[in-house]
Amino acid sequence: MAAAGIEIRNLSSDEELAGSVQVIRESFRTVAGELCLTERNCPTHPSFMTFQRLKAETVKGLQCFGLFTGDAQAGFVAALAATADLFYLERLAVLPEYRHRGYGRILVDHVFSFVSKSGGRRISIAVIHESEVLKRWYSDYGFRETGTKVFPHLPFTVCFMEKETA
C-alpha cells in the first residue's frame, strides 16, 4: 500500500504521540493562517493540538497512524469508531514540505484498509465548508457531502462528507 521508502506505523506510545502533535500543529497551521483562526476564536482547531488532548482522545478509542519517510514523520491520520459500521477519519495531516507527493492519499487509503478490516462500512469526515480546495480533494477521492452545520463556538461552517469502504 505504501510507496517505496514510505512506512505507515500505528502510534500509541507517549513519545510517538508527542511527535505527532507537532506534525498536526504544523500541518494545520497553514489553514489556520488562511482563515485567521486563533486559540481564542477556535481553540479546538488541530493547529492548537496539545499532547494532553491527543492522549485523551486515544483513551476514548482514537487509532493513530503516522506516515514516515526514513526516520522522519511526514504525516498523520486517525480513525475513530462511531458505531459498528461508521468510522470518523480525523486530522489528516501532511507537513507542508511533504505535500503534493501523494502522502495524504496514502494515509486515507490506510484508514480505509483499517476500517474495512475492523468491520466498518462507511467513513465520515468533517471539514471546513469554506475550504473549497479541501472539499474538492475529498470529493475527488470519492467522498460526498452529506450536510453542513453552523456551530456557535466555531468561526466557520462545518461540512460533513462520507464514503463507503467498499
Q: Is residue 118 part of a domain?
A: yes
Per-residue pLDDT, averaged over 148-163, amounts to 93
CA distance 17 to 21: 6
pLDDT for residue 3 is more than 70: no
Q: Enter the pTM of the model.
A: 0.93
Q: Is residue 16 part of a domain?
A: yes
Q: Length of the chain in residues, anyone?
A: 166
Q: How many domains does the chain have?
A: 1
**pLDDT tens string 103-135:** 999 999 999 999 999 999 999 999 999 888 899
User: Chain-wide mean pLDDT for the chain?
Assistant: 94
**pLDDT tens string 18-77:** 999 999 999 999 989 988 999 999 999 999 999 999 999 999 999 999 999 988 999 999
Q: Is residue 128 part of a domain?
A: no
Q: Is residue 142 part of a domain?
A: no
Domain with residue 115: its CATH number is: 3.40.630.30
Question: Which has the closest alpha carbon to 92: 70, 65, 119?
Answer: 65
pLDDT for residue 1 is more than 50: no
Residue 72 sits in which domain range?
6-122
Q: Is residue 113 part of a domain?
A: yes
Q: Are 115 and 79 in contact (CB under 8 A)?
A: yes
CA distance 107 to 123: 14
Q: Is residue 17 part of a domain?
A: yes
CA–CA distance from 66 to each of 18, 44, 71, 108 (Å)?
12, 21, 11, 11
Q: Is residue 54 part of a domain?
A: yes
Q: Is residue 164 part of a domain?
A: no
pLDDT at residue 155 in the model: 85
